[in-house]
A and B are shown apart, each in its own frame.
Chain A
Amino acid sequence: DIVMTQSPDSLAVSLGERATINCKSSQSVLYSSNNKNFLAWYQQKPGLPPKLLIYWASTRESGVPDRFSGSGSGTDFTLTISSLQAEDVAVYYCQQYYSTSPYTFGQGTKLEIK
């Protein structure tokens, strides 16, 4: 199984400041035939289901604000929120879909306001 490890487990950032969440996979999720990283990011607000933010490691889902960006390749990935807003308080998960049996998620990173 591909193990996904996020860091940090929790993060407190001031409003308007940058938030950075890291995700590392135990093996590369870069698919050589199309040169795409099979890595997604999800946001889960309290009491709600997860919501897709980013796929292919860096492509924003429709409707996602452009303050959210994803980067990285191979085994190391980053989700960046360029200017934290109050509504961004949530738990963020990375997920690899390179192997779909099983799909695996990171343990989650809780983002709070400082």
Chain B
Amino acid sequence: DVQLVESGGALVQPGGSLRLSCAASGFTLSSHSMNWVRQAPGKGLEWISFISSSGSTTSYAGSVKGRFTISRDNAKNSLDLQMNSLRAEDTAMYYCARVGVISWYFDLWGRGTLITVSS
């Protein structure tokens, strides 16, 4: 099956760090740019980070820039998000999402992993 599976979600204290992972199966991750998108409880979708297929280009939303780092290991078919200096407002479901081969929309999403930032 073609799928993305996120892991690493947890309850973490404000100021703490966490590393999320996204494992791809059923397709070659290196052929696709990837993104992380989050959704706070009961809220809408917020794009937070992009990485190109080779990993040479990254970008971040202003809300996470300087605190989060996206990376990928194409040999392991995996994507990571290192999250530092976590805040209560980072509490959300975090999804990894694949960029389509035709253009820049997201054609495949994982089921998400939940981060709760609270003391």
Q: A residues touching B (Cβ–Cβ < 8 Å)?
A: 36, 38, 40, 42, 44, 48-52, 55-56, 61, 93, 95, 97, 100-108
Please give the distance in Å from A69's CB to the nearest CB on chain B: 17
Interface residues of B in 90-119 (CB under 8 A from A): 95, 97, 100, 102-112
Would you list 19 pairs from A and B whose C-beta atoms are within 8 A, ordered by A residue?
Answer: A36-B103, A38-B104, A42-B45, A42-B106, A44-B45, A48-B111, A49-B109, A49-B110, A49-B112, A51-B109, A52-B100, A52-B107, A52-B108, A95-B45, A97-B105, A102-B59, A104-B47, A105-B47, A108-B45
Residues of A within 8 A of B106 (CB): 40, 42, 50, 52, 95
Residues of A within 8 A of B110 (CB): 49
Which of B44, B59, B95, B109 is within 8 Å of A101, CB to CB? B59
Q: B111, A55: Cβ atoms under 8 Å?
A: no
The distance in angstroms between the C-alpha atoms of A104 and B50, with both chains bound, is 12
Q: B105, A55: Cβ atoms under 8 Å?
A: yes
Q: B residues touching A (Cβ–Cβ < 8 Å)?
A: 35, 44-47, 50, 59, 61-62, 95, 97, 100, 102-112
The distance in angstroms between the C-alpha atoms of A102 and B107, with both chains bound, is 17
Q: B47, A102: Cβ atoms under 8 Å?
A: yes
Q: B46, A100: Cβ atoms under 8 Å?
A: no
Please give the distance in Å from A77's CB to the nearest CB on chain B: 13
Q: A52, B105: Cβ atoms under 8 Å?
A: yes
Which of B46, B62, B95, B104 is within 8 Å of A49, CB to CB? B95
Most interface-central of B44, B62, B105, B110 (chain A CB within 10 A):
B105
Residues of B within 8 A of A51 (CB): 109
Q: Which residue of B lies closest to A100 (CB)?
A: B104
Please give the distance in Å from A47's CB to the nearest CB on chain B: 9
Residues of A within 8 A of B109 (CB): 49-51
The distance in angstroms between the C-alpha atoms of A101 and B60, with both chains bound, is 7
Residues of B within 8 A of A97 (CB): 103-105
The distance in angstroms between the C-alpha atoms of A40 and B105, with both chains bound, is 7
